[in-house]
Amino acid sequence: MRKSTKAWALLFAMCTASLLGGCTYESGTKAFATTNFDTTPEKTTTAQTESGAEWLKNALANAKTDKKAQTYWYKGHVKNMILSRSTTSMFSGAVINGKGYNVDARIAAQPYSYYRVNDKQYIRANDNWVTATDEPLAFDVLAGFDDWLPFMDQAVQLPDEKIIGVFSVPFQLKMTGADWLKTSKSPLFEPLKQQLGDRPDLDYILKQSTIKTTFWFGKDDHLIHQYETWIILPLPGAGTMDQQVHFNMFKYGDTGGINLSEPEDVEKYLLY
């Protein structure tokens, strides 16, 4: 039972790290094999002309400096499949960098809203607003993307694709959990790294796991317009656990449609 508990801790840490959302390949055109979480043939790869790492670096830099990128909408979901059970959490909202953001979510079929402006933050549950003394959800749509930079030189460039009306350049990479754990700088993995030497069961799970991540970068604005990570982890003797994280960022520069309420407009509805 103890080993089983720690194995589940590994699954949780890996899947949590994907919300932040090894392998070497020969130069030239690259291609990935299909996996059991994508039974359709992979799209034919385009000529590998650019580096996925450079695209991601530029996108993260543009997100901070491009005036257009300071306001945008987002929507997405996190789908967990454990054995025969499946749960999906939905998220949507808008961001004004430097001011705040809002999140409307449905987690385990329960509605939830989160709102932050400047240094104030509020939660709505069961139609009641309360003050959040500690931020319960460190919700930054772009948080953790720089953790993928060490891997992106291995990414395959796929054919251009239109994402919510924007011509985009996709880059995709695959790796095992062992490769991810070895290279990732995320503090979430530190306890697991310390256990590996004495835990052959964890070593097996990591080596047999599959992680596939895809970024879609706007061809003209070089911003991230779509992101997806899919993780498959074996449950020894019990099948697999899958997690899919999928988000879209759209309407960059929409200054007219995004309107975050001022704190006093929320505070009059607060229970405490």
In single-letter form, the type of residue at position 17 comes to A
Half-sphere exposure at residue 136, Cβ-oriented, CA atoms within 13 angstroms: 14
**Angle at the Cα of 73 from the Cα atoms of 110 and 188, rounded to 5 degrees:** 65
24-69 pLDDT, tens digit per residue, is: 222 333 444 343 344 344 555 565 667 899 999 999 999 999 999 9
Token pair of 94, please? Answer: 């808008």
Confidence band (pLDDT; 50, 70, 90) for 209?
A: confident
How confident is the model over 102-121, as a mean pLDDT? 85
pLDDT at 7 over 80: no
Q: What is the pTM of this model?
A: 0.79
Size of the chain, expressed as the number of residues it contains: 272
Task: Report the alpha-carbon distance of residue 73 to residue 225 in Å, rounded.
Answer: 10
Q: Look over the chain and give the mean of its residue pLDDT values, rounded to a whole number.
A: 77
How confident is the model over 221-235, as a mean pLDDT? 91
pLDDT at 221 over 70: yes
- What are the residues whose beta carbons fall under 8 Å from the beta carbon of 184, sequence distance 6 or more? 17, 147, 150
Q: What does the buried/exposed string (b/e) look like for 119-156 if buried means 16 or more CB atoms within 10 Å of the residue's CB?
A: eebbbbeeeebeeeeeeeeebebbebbebbeebbebbb
71-104 pLDDT, tens digit per residue, is: 999 999 999 888 778 889 899 999 998 888 888 8
159-168 pLDDT, tens digit per residue, is: 999 999 999 9
How confident is the model over 4-24, as a mean pLDDT? 39
